[in-house]
Amino acid sequence: MGCLGSGPLVRQEEDYLYSSAKSHVLDVPDEVLREQLFDKEERKWYIEFLKVEPTNKEINTIRKATKIGRPLGDENLINKIAGLLDHHFLKTVPTNVGTKPRK
């Protein structure tokens, strides 16, 4: 299955040690999860979703959001998350990040 890097870390998402996919795909208990995320029909959809390779556009969109530390979603979702966390998310990377001060 796919991943967002130059090569897969594991062949199947459920094989990645730090992923909840094993619990969701194989319907096995996970000590971190309090309850199952999906019912039986949703689990079938999730398994099919994992089989689809992301497009380059999707990969780049995810990478951009990850780079600036912003949740990936529409403004309503981002505003809801920001309210719950009492945090303001930037829309872009600040231009002065990683640059040396001018003399």
On whether the CB atoms of residues 29 and 49 are closer than 8 A, the answer is no
Give the tens place of pLDDT for each residue, 38-77. 888 998 999 998 888 889 999 899 888 888 888 888 889 9
pLDDT of residue 56: 92
Output the pTM of the full model.
0.53
For the chain, the domains span 13-85
Is the model's pLDDT at 13 over the cut of 90?
no
Is the model's pLDDT at 90 over the cut of 80?
no
CA distance 73 to 54: 16
Residue with tokens 């990683």: 98
Please state whether 98 falls in left (phi above 0), alpha (psi between -120 and 50) or beta: left
pLDDT of residue 9: 72
